[in-house]
Structure 1
Amino acid sequence: MLDDNITDSITHRVANKTFTFTTPAADSPIEVLNEYYWTEEKEPHFSRRKLILARHPEVAKLTGYETKTKWYVIGVVLLQFYVAYYLRNTPIFNWKFIALAYVIGATANQALFLAIHELSHNLLFKKPIHNKIFAVFTNLPIGIPYAASFQPYHQLHHKFLGDKYLDADLPTKFESVILSNVLGKVFFATFQILFYALRPMFVTQIKFTSIHLLNIVAQVSTDYVLVQLCGWHAFGYFIMSSFLAGSLHPCAGHFIAEHYVLNENNRARTELKDGISISADLLPPETYSYYGSLNLLTWNVGYHNEHHDFPYIAWTKLPELRRIAHEFYDPLPQVKSWCGVIWYFCFDDINTLWNRVKRDGKEKHGTSINNLDQNN
């Protein structure tokens, strides 16, 4: 934490220009210290997509679904059911149960979360309805129905990145006020799966569809049969796996790594003028990619700038996109470690829940959430 009347001078390079700016002192007004990065600038992915397509039109050929993904997903689902059956007579708080739930279960269910993410972009099958139905199947080892709701919320995240009304990935002001301290951040990182599950209902609402009903009926029926045949411990394995997948687990680092403005990417909030906390020239990048080995377990979700630039390119083609358009991606800030992200998010004072880029949501007035095209 900075001493009361001490400021740090920071130099940063943006768009080939060097800026030097000063971090506010710890006794700066609370309006300066505790605020998001408010901006009127549009999100960067649309414009970068246009530039990449103009220079590399061959990138368009990378779009489309990946046929082999479904076989991997089926394998992960069957693995989870097998381990649940294996642990049917093992006490939930037994060391073996917890170890298997953390090492196998959490890793597998994180893969299923992100398979549902691929399905939300229709990247496993040609027809959208087939992706929706398969997402219901993919949801089964997670234990709680969520796949049907994830797609429309995730579409909003892409279409209205940073919108305070429509992007449910953003922490609310209540979360930021209460949890922007060491204990709060540790609590957030430990229980972040609950924040991602519950926050959307408080931010915006979506239309209930027949796919939501199918998701609920299929999940509740499967859970009931599992409990009847294998007992509550098997179902408990599913729930613990899902909880740990979004907790202090290496693969869970992607939740924070993707859009939080951390460490040297942080910018000084030197003033609040007309609701804007930072100049456009100093607007920090708001999406970050990770190119490490954990991508092998998470459908390359670490290629997150690439994914937001081209959300209809399947996970297997994202490394090729980066190779083709390397001049666009190599200069961008990168995350080196998802484990490291969790650590320095929790224990570095400069990193808080306020470290997100937000937009004022003027688009909300012209958007009907219930009328979003569910076939996209």
Structure 2
Amino acid sequence: MDGEIKYRNKDHTFTFNTPPADSSIDVLNEFYWTKDTEPHVLRRKLILEKYPEVRKLTGWEPKTKWYVIGIVLLQCSIAFYLRKTPVLSLKFFTLAYIIGATANQAIFLAIHELSHNLLFKKPLHNKIFATFANIPIGIPYSASFQPYHQLHHKFLGDEFLDTDLPTRFEGIFLSNLLGKVFFATFQIFFYALRPMFITQIKFTYIHLFNVMFQIGFDYLMVKFLGWKALGYFIMSSFLAGSLHPCAGHFIAEHYVLNENNTEKFAKKNGINVELVPAETYSYYGSLNLLTWNVGYHNEHHDFPYIAWTKLPELKKIASEFYDPLPQVNSWIGVIWWFIFNDINKLWSRVKREGNIKSGTKIDKLDQN
């Protein structure tokens, strides 16, 4: 390995080995392995010590549910409007891409908020409402997302428990131009299918409720509106996780890209290497207005129980902790840079050795 990337604060220094950009493929075919713990717990502790008032920002956001209901009704209305429109027509695709994909990305991220119990006081109410929010996605998704996402937060970078990480198979076969185009185009399938091949979650009554409710709704939709209406839901979901501006957040959040990828590139671009974040990046652009401020991702991982409406306030209060961190300026740019910049690979993620084996079934997880 050629150099090191360091993230340093007053108590600890996190170190990551980094290969040079011109290394052979055998060298580049490795994640950024570290034995250090993830930085969010420590930064949360430091922020709370200095700004205890941040605790008041935690809790659910009641008004979010009304926005979600509006988006679900919007998607159902467009599905009704397109019920007799050919799926392969320009009109169908345009509405599915511009409105449908944007709306369903908002639905995906509303379910993300619900997975942290940020819409209702009681966890069960969040789970039930997530099943309702799931309607425009077209396939049952919400019940499975929550436990896998909780693992992502609690075991960030763990090779077996964090299923947000690409697998070694993906890194080997998709870390080239065509492979990255394929990954960026079909990334929704990677996020949907990858978890079940890595870590299995126990099937619960909430999963059954999610499956039965979605199948029942889809059946009624096809019966009364036809397959094209359901096709609008499915196409919207696919495009939401494909080459769509809002889909850039999937890559932007945890991939170490461009000048942050190696110490050499960091120095070349005038970035203080000691302040390069370990593995999480924030985006503060206008697309946050459509995605529940998911771009505030360092802030979210530091305080996962602060709702989307309060994340900008958190950043303002603890600005000296967040302002020095490198930021992502464009989600559209992220997709472009990820595909066409040779230094960016599917290997460009921080990873930690897991304490369990791949395929282990998780029987119990605290989701409250």
Give the TM-score normalised by structure 1: 0.89
Structure 1 counterpart of 2:121, from 126, 134, 143 = 126
Instruction: Give the deviation of 1:312 after TM superposition.
Output: 0.2
8 Å contact kept, 1:251–1:338: yes
Distance between the aligned counterparts of 1:201 and 1:214, measured in 2?
19
What are the superposed Cα offsets for residues 74-130 of structure 1, whole Å, 9 maximum, x if unpaired? 000000000000000000011000000000000000000000000000000000000
Alignment CA distance shift 1:29-1:290 (3 Å): closer
Distance between the aligned counterparts of 2:8 and 2:290, measured in 1?
33
In the alignment, which residue of structure 1 is the partner of 2:246?
251
Distance between the aligned counterparts of 2:276 and 2:314, measured in 1?
25
Structure 1 counterpart of 2:133, from 130, 138, 152 = 138
Distance between the aligned counterparts of 1:78 and 1:371, measured in 2?
35
Distance between the aligned counterparts of 1:247 and 1:161, measured in 2?
24
Asked if residue 353 in structure 1 is aligned to residue 346 in structure 2, the reply is yes
- Aligned pairs for 1:274-285 within 5 A: 285=278
Instruction: Give the deviation of 1:283 after TM superposition.
Output: 8.0
Structure 2 counterpart of 1:81, from 72, 76, 85 = 76
Amino acid at match of 1:168: T
In the alignment, which residue of structure 2 is the partner of 1:301?
294
In the alignment, which residue of structure 1 is the partner of 2:331?
338
- Aligned pairs for 1:1-376 within 5 A: 14-15=7-8, 24=20, 26=22, 28=24, 30=26, 32-267=27-262, 285-362=278-355, 369-374=362-367, 376=368
Instruction: Give the deviation of 1:12 after TM superposition.
Output: 7.4
- Number of aligned residue pairs: 354
Alignment CA distance shift 1:263-1:304 (3 Å): same
8 Å contact kept, 1:266–1:284: no
Distance between the aligned counterparts of 1:303 and 1:283, measured in 2?
16
Distance between the aligned counterparts of 1:370 and 1:291, measured in 2?
37
Give the TM-score normalised by structure 2: 0.91
In the alignment, which residue of structure 1 is the partner of 2:270?
none
Any runs of at least 4 consecutive aligned residues in structure 1 with deviations exceeding 4 A, and if so which? 9-14, 280-284
Distance between the aligned counterparts of 1:10 and 1:286, measured in 2?
17
Give structure 1 stretches of 5+ with no counterpart: 1-8, 270-279
8 Å contact kept, 2:160–2:356: no
Distance between the aligned counterparts of 1:316 and 1:359, measured in 2?
32
Alignment CA distance shift 1:27-1:57 (3 Å): closer
Distance between the aligned counterparts of 2:256 and 2:161, measured in 1?
20
Instruction: Give the deviation of 1:10 after TM superposition.
Output: 9.2
Distance between the aligned counterparts of 1:29 and 1:135, measured in 2?
43
Give structure 2 stretches of 5+ with no counterpart: 265-272
Distance between the aligned counterparts of 1:106 and 1:284, measured in 2?
30
Amino acid at match of 1:305: N
The 3-state SS of whatever aligns with 2:33 is strand
Percentage of pairs with the same residue: 73
The 3-state SS of whatever aligns with 1:134 is helix
Instruction: Give the deviation of 1:132 after TM superposition.
Output: 0.1
Alignment CA distance shift 1:313-1:330 (3 Å): same
The 3-state SS of whatever aligns with 1:371 is coil
Amino acid at match of 1:33: L
Amino acid at match of 1:304: H
Instruction: Give the deviation of 1:373 after TM superposition.
Output: 2.1
